[in-house]
Amino acid sequence: MIIIRVTRDQEKNIISYLVKGHADYAERGEDIVCASISILAQTAILALHEIAEIDIMYEVNDGHVFCKLPDDLSSDQREKARIILDTLYIGIKGTQGMYGRYIDLRDEEV
């Protein structure tokens, strides 16, 4: 099962996410659930870096993706990050809607 933990600030904006595990929907290399979530998580990192121009903290390893926004964002960066991370969340929710038994999504406020 893929466990996804999304962390939000007091304004309900996503400030970090962690994706870990494997879906075990299909054999390695053919698992569309793992591939979908991995693509979403890694594309968000690329977009935060390239579009929002944010120097983010991230880790990408086999079965593990972590991303955390820094605290010192400009208002423009914060708005771009909100759009990118909300889009990530929509994609995860959509995938979970189709393959729910393989994805455990936890949405937490700090």
High-pLDDT (> 90) share of the chain, %: 96
Q: Nearest-CA neighbor of 92 among 53, 15, 50, 84?
A: 84
Whole-number pLDDT of residue 28: 86
SS3 67: strand
Range of 57's domain? 2-109
Which tokens sit at 25?
């929907």
Whole-number pLDDT of residue 100: 95
pLDDT in tens, 68-107: 999 999 999 999 999 999 999 999 999 999 999 999 999 9
Q: Nearest-CA neighbor of 52 among 92, 82, 10?
A: 82
Which tokens sit at 63?
């079965």
Can you give the CATH number for the domain in which 50 is found?
A: 3.30.70.1490
Neighbours of 51 (CB within 10 A): 13
Task: Give the C-alpha separation, 84 to 62, whole Å.
Answer: 23
pTM to 2 decimal places: 0.94
Number of domains in the chain: 1
